[in-house]
A = this chain, B = another copy of it.
Amino acid sequence: MLSQQSLAWGQTKSCIRELMEFGMRRKAEIGADKVFDYSIGNPSIPAPACVKETIAELLEGDSIALHGYTPAAGLPPLRKLISEKLNERYALDTTAANIYVTCGAAAGLAIALKAMLLSGEEVITSAPFFPEYRVFTEACGGKLVALAPDKSFMIDTDALKAALNEKTKAIIVNSPNNPSGAILSEDNLKAVAEILREHKAKTGRTVYIISDEPYRELVYDGTKVHCALEYYDDTVFCYSFSKTLSLPGERIGYLAVSSKMTDAKDMINAIAGAGRSLGYVNAPSMFQQVILRCFDAVSDVSKYRENRDLLCSIMDELGYEYIMPQGAFYLFVKALEPDAKSFSEQAKKHELLLVPSDDFGVGGYVRLAYCVSKEMIEASKPAFAALKKDYE
């Protein structure tokens, strides 16, 4: 008998990936321009020129050094640079020792949870949430507890207080949020931190914040993104370069442990041990070098803003309801029937690939990844109109 847990995860797949792979098959059948694929957050902006230039330069150097193993936690100069950039941004005093370079944010989350979770412990998150949080948590024998968000898609602090118990090990916060595009306010983050500090004072138990921020740089309307690192010492920060440098397939990101964490050194060791035990030898070596040289070369995100505005104007015109996203590249749209999965199936009939919200922990919405071409958004308007008509 195989692991029934692994088997179930393999048979069900992530709803996002399932729809993406359906999309690939469908495009092969009827032509890529006939399918309106809003399924996956695959950046539609090319990587900044620096990436190509750097790789071309690196290829002229020593092949053995370029493609060789790196230390498990990453190249020392890269870890140093990351810590310096974090310090600059958030007035911290991390060092290279606080940084562990990962194969993207998914690996970072899986590793952080494996580092801290004991079997039977609970991880809290606020819906809507990235569905893999549940899988990563359960893979460590833990249980994900999802809170309903408050009306403005912030963390419901009363619900958080009620959910904390002796089994709670961590809370995963995600801002800007996938799938809603909401950004947690400074007040909300401060309130969450205060609740966790009170919980610790009362019970002696530390609840870690895992701050999952791959969309940190994808922000619109001048909104400032605050980070749990600023307000809460027991924070593990999880980042990926997938979105800002348009490198999602290359799997490169990092974990940072607050230098003010009570047991920061243990946490870094546990992260290293967890990474090792999950088979992560080191993050891809060439892309570690690329990040070292292209750290500040953020992709031009103005296109995403244009896409957001275009898509919102279409939704407005057709009478769809949605959450106005302040960041990331997702639009969370109210389904036209209570069952989001059924709505997503109906959308497929118009070649619209919309991810149903159920796996994100809330019912009745679909997620549209608008990191697509402007042309696709424009061309999809009649399909959205037809879909709307189906429900009239």
Contacts and interface: CB of A to CB of B under 8 A. Distances in A.
**Most chain-B Cβ atoms within 10 A of its Cβ — which of A2, A59, A115, A246?**
A2
A372 to B, nearest CB: 11
A198 interface: no
Nearest to A14: B276
Interface in A212-261: 246-251
Given A103-B251, A103-B279, A269 B11 contact: yes
Main secondary structure of the interface of A (DSSP, over half): helix
Number of copies: 2
Contact of A286 (B1, B40, B249, B278): B249
Nearest to A70: B249
**Most chain-B Cβ atoms within 10 A of its Cβ — which of A104, A281, A285?**
A281
A45 B68 CA distance: 10
Contacts of A279: 103-104, 106-111, 132, 136, 278
Contact of A281 (B106, B266, B273): B106
13 contacts: A2-B266, A10-B270, A10-B272, A13-B72, A14-B276, A46-B62, A67-B247, A67-B250, A70-B249, A104-B279, A108-B279, A111-B279, A284-B287
Given A10-B272, A13-B72, 4 more contacts: A6-B115, A20-B69, A43-B64, A138-B277
Interface of A: 1-3, 5-11, 13-14, 17, 20-21, 24, 40, 42-47, 51-52, 55-56, 59, 62-64, 66-72, 103-104, 106-111, 114-118, 132, 135-136, 138-140, 246-251, 263, 266-274, 276-287
The 6 closest A-B pairs by CB, nearest first: A249-B285, A110-B279, A10-B273, A9-B273, A10-B269, A139-B277
